[in-house]
């Protein structure tokens, strides 16, 4: 099923003890409607506060109780107003939302104006300083292709052998009025990768770092010289790909 959510009330997609998660809400509501325990898998494990426009979720259900339209209507009543289900359909038995996914696309939104907009504050990072979009765009070429993104990832100390190599297929910056948008598509993403990249791009756009700094920090394989990640509320899981 395709799921959209406002990530603000949740500590991310994945279930964690003693905190609210999107996965927990979905499993509880699905179990209530289908009348048997449900475990769901999401295409992307979004972090705390990160939103989704089209998260893909898979689960196994009792065929005798599976009515997609009725299930969608019931879930939207139970999950509103922070989660909505756009589409539910039966698929191949071996389909897995995460393992079958061939790529993910994210969008980051920056509200770039001196005066803040209260209507944007939950879904865009307010950056008062003028941003040099040309410099930010030039720096995108340095992350295209396959790289080790250790410098732009949150390190899990319990997994010392973690693999940080990812393939970025597309990355671009553009302006739409007062909004500055960053779209990125990759095979997969490391923890906090997009937000960390955006933090560096904004430092470049503000003139605090050179365009070449993106490639230099990427090659260092260390977070020591990387700026702080951008806030989570500006990030949206935009699309999951299955081509």
Residue numbers annotated as active site: 47
CA distances from 127 to 113, 143, 173, 214 (A): 7, 23, 15, 20
Q: Which two tokens stand for residue 106?
A: 């994210």
Sign (positive/negative) of CA torsion 142, 143, 149, 151?
positive
CA distances from 35 to 61, 65, 209 (A): 10, 8, 55
The conformation of residue 176, written as its DSSP 8-state character, comes to E
The conformation of residue 15, written as its DSSP 8-state character, comes to -
Question: Taking Cα atoms as reference points, which of 215, 213, 201 lies closest to residue 125?
Answer: 201
Question: Taking Cα atoms as reference points, which of 2, 88, 104, 109 lies closest to residue 46?
Answer: 104
> 20-50 burial, b for 16+ CB within 10 Å, e for fewer?
ebbbbbbbebbeebbeeebebbbbbbbbbbb
Euclidean distance between CA atoms 160 and 118, whole angstroms: 42
Phi, psi of 36 (to 5 degrees): -155, 155
Which helix H or strand E contains 148, and what residues bound it? Answer: strand 145-148
């Amino acid at each position: 099923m395709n799921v959209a959510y406002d990530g603000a009330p949740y500590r991310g997609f994945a279930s964690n003890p003693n905190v609210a998660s999107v996965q927990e809400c979905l499993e509880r509501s699905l179990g209530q409607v289908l009348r048997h325990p449900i475990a769901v898998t999401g295409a992307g494990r979004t972090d705390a506060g990160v939103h989704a426009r089209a998260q893909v979720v898979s689960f196994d259900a009792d065929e005798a109780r599976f009515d997609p339209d009725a299930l969608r209507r019931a879930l939207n009543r139970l999950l509103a107003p922070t989660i909505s289900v756009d589409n539910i359909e039966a698929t191949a038995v071996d389909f897995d939302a995460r393992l079958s996914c061939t790529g993910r696309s994210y969008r980051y939104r920056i509200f770039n104006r001196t005066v803040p907009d209260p209507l944007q504050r939950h879904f865009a990072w307010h950056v008062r300083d003028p941003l040099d979009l040309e410099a930010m765009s030039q720096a995108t070429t340095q992350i295209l292709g396959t790289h080790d993104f250790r410098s732009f990832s949150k390190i899990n100390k319990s997994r010392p052998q973690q693999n940080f190599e990812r393939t970025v297929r597309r990355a671009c910056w553009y302006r739409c009025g007062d909004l500055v948008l960053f779209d990125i598509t990759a095979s997969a993403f490391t923890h906090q990768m997009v937000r960390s990249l955006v933090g560096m791009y904004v430092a470049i756009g503000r003139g605090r770092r050179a365009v070449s700094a993106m490639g230099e920090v990427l090659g260092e394989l260390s977070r020591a010289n990387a700026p702080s990640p951008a806030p989570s509320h500006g990030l949206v899981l935009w699309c999951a790909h299955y081509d």
